[in-house]
A = this chain, B = another copy of it.
Amino acid sequence: MDIYQSDSVMQILSRVFKLHRRHLHELLQNYEVYPGQPPLLIRLSERDGQSQHELAAQMRVKPATLTVMITRMEKTGLLRRGADSKDQRVSRVYLTDKGHQATTAVKKALREIEETCLKGFLTEEKLLFRRLLLQMYENLKDIEEQFD
């Protein structure tokens, strides 16, 4: 059906994104980790106890989104909130033991999928692909800043 019609780059990119997300979720079924959560776990494993505001900025997500996500993940026991000692407005987020275990699984799964994605790529193709993707991101970010 897609024979005579060539899909746009963004269409393909969107499919890659969705498939990646789905595979990752499948690999993490035993850990109660849902599709949006791996980035949060990764960030916390790099630096535990960050504020929700910091995390939201890194994840390019709105604070409101994180409030809900963190509340859910507190319920499933992956992490916990703690008060900041100096500023009572900020709540800091910490991985639990279960959260650390889940993060290990997340990283393993990410490595596996990344390897699958890049199967058949030459080293210079990987580098070039990454460079072009970054350039695309910068191009999009530039018109972003025109609106501010």
Give the interface SS of chain A, mostly helix, strand, loop or mixed: helix
Chain B residues, Cβ within 8 Å of A119: 139
Number of copies: 2
State whether A139 touches B120 (Cβ < 8 A): yes
Most buried by B among A18, A19, A133, A144: A133
Chain B residues, Cβ within 8 Å of A18: 60
State whether B116 touches A140 (Cβ < 8 A): yes
State whether B128 touches A1 (Cβ < 8 A): no
How many residues from A make CB contacts under 8 Å with B? 48
* Per-position binary interface string of chain A over residues 110-148, scored 1 when its CB falls under 8 Å from any chain B CB and 0 otherwise: 100110111111000110111011111101111110010
Quick check: is A20 within 8 A (CB to CB) of the other chain? yes
Quick check: is A96 within 8 A (CB to CB) of the other chain? no
10 shortest A-B CB distances, which residue pairs?
A19-B140, A17-B17, A129-B132, A119-B139, A12-B133, A117-B136, A16-B137, A16-B136, A116-B139, A9-B130
Can you offer 14 A-B residue contacts whose CB atoms are under 8 A? A5-B46, A8-B114, A13-B16, A14-B17, A15-B60, A16-B133, A16-B140, A17-B17, A18-B60, A19-B140, A19-B141, A116-B139, A120-B135, A129-B129
